[in-house]
Structure 1
Amino acid sequence: MNNTIMQLSEAIIDGNIMEAKILTQKALDMGATAKQILDEGLMNGMNEVGELFRDGELFVPEVLVASKAMDTGMEIIKPFLKEGDVEKKGKCVFATVKGDLHDIGKKLVAMMMEGAGYEIVDLGVDVSPEQLVDAVKEHEPELLGMSAMLTTTMAYMNDTVKALEENGLLDKVGVMIGGAPVSPKYASEINAKYSADASSAVELANSLISL
């Protein structure tokens, strides 16, 4: 069984969608729990993909295919996750900020957080501070995740935090930010928390939820 889960990780890294589907089902049939398949197979593979992408060994198209392979596995285990011991930890609203159309990093983070037990509300790309404030009012999430890939759009993260503060919402939601131009220093300056990649975003979310 452990060998099958290890092969599943490799299938995710290779972006082999059909293989990921077959191995996920096989692991379930062999008696692996959905949580085990998620943590040791799907997440493990996707974390490796994130590291390879960061190191320049994988590129955007390969990351997209890998995330599709993970999605295929997730579809199979999702019903079992809901029945099993992975309870919803909280709700998170995600968006790529105004003026920015990049969403691969955001999608990966959202996918991993969903797998880790979070309810995800993804607003998509090019989302204004006003729309984010409205979404926080409507969905009442514990967390808000913002992504930016352009230095020119980063300022909207600050605008959003200020708008949350003006609306009395900042103390009700943990703000997580990430993306290529974003740094821990910038996050600290605008009263947000920084996440370098998808796997550390899950750890950050867990730490913010437990506060």
Structure 2
Amino acid sequence: MYEVRIMVTKEEVISKFKEAIINGDEEEAVKWAKESISIGLDAYEMITKYGGEAMEIVSKMYEEKKIFVPEVLLAANALTNAIEILKPYIKIETTKVPAKIVLGVVEGDIHDIGKNLVKIMLSAAGFEVIDLGRDVPLQKFIEVTKEVKADVLGMSALMSTTMPGMKKVIDMLKEAGIRDKIVVIVGGGPVTPEWAQSIGADARPKDASAAVGITKELVEKLKQKRGESW
């Protein structure tokens, strides 16, 4: 017996993929992630564009009180599992400048999809990424940065109420005497380039892909100025 394979269009795969994420259906999200690879869709675009669009819909539904935190977490989990399928197929140029990067979502914030996308892209580019996860105590950013002698500290926030934590961390880096030893990158929905500049961050990449190029450039400049190590 031969298995009969029903052909689906790229549009159908994308639609089903987004629908699965919105519904928080992990099994379906993984299924359509695999299907997207089999028909030649771009893995990075599936994650950042279509996965991102699905999560934007989820966020809007949450804001409109059509769904609640459990449904948001199910959607995020569905996308996270789909990302694991798509990750090996992301094509990206690896860096020639080794660097250690500490990443985390600031204290009080549990939204880590954006941070996870940045982690995937930076790891794929050859950087060593230390992921602190979400709802990270501000002092922990300092402790781990010093412990591993990081070259880059990346912080994310999706809620405007948690954004001030980023400035506090930068101030703490100054107090610890290590601000000039590292690059600080910030991101998240409400974080603008202007606000990032106002708190003393080095950059606010527009997306996960841009984070790779900006990080490479800033690390090269840092090491020319600072040297290879602390």
Contact 2:138–2:168 at 8 Å: present in 1 too?
A: no
Does 1:112 find its partner at 2:117? Answer: yes
Contact 2:153–2:183 at 8 Å: present in 1 too?
A: yes
Which amino acid is the alignment partner of residue 114 of structure 2? Answer: V
- Rounded to whole Å, the distance in 1 between the matches of 2:187 and 2:46 is 28
Tell me the equivalent position of 1:46: 55
TM-score w.r.t. length of structure 1: 0.69
Larger radius of gyration: 2
Tell me the equivalent position of 2:79: 70
- Rounded to whole Å, the distance in 2 between the matches of 1:177 and 1:41 is 19
Give the alignment of 1:21-36 within 5 angstroms.
21-36=30-45
Provide the alpha-carbon RMSD of the alignment: 3.7
- Rounded to whole Å, the distance in 2 between the matches of 1:79 and 1:201 is 19
State the 4+ residue runs in structure 1 displaced beyond 3 angstroms: 50-58, 87-92, 146-151, 153-159, 177-180, 182-190, 192-195, 199-211
Cα displacement (A) at 1:203: 7.7
Percent identity among equivalent residues?
24
Cα displacement (A) at 1:94: 0.9
Q: How many residue pairs were aligned?
A: 196
Structure 2: tracts of 5 or more residues without a match: 1-8, 124-128, 219-230
Which amino acid is the alignment partner of residue 161 of structure 1? Answer: I
- Rounded to whole Å, the distance in 2 between the matches of 1:8 and 1:30 is 13
Tell me the equivalent position of 2:179: 169
Which amino acid is the alignment partner of residue 184 of structure 2? Answer: G
Instruction: Name the CA shift for 1:206/1:51 in 2 (closer, same or farther; >3 Å).
Output: farther
Secondary structure of the 2:52 match is helix
Contact 2:17–2:33 at 8 Å: present in 1 too?
A: yes
Tell me the equivalent position of 1:127: 137
Structure 1: tracts of 5 or more residues without a match: none
Which amino acid is the alignment partner of residue 61 of structure 1? Answer: P
Cα deviation code 1:30-87 (max 9, x no counterpart): 2323234324433332233234434544422111111111112112122222xxx234
TM-score w.r.t. length of structure 2: 0.64
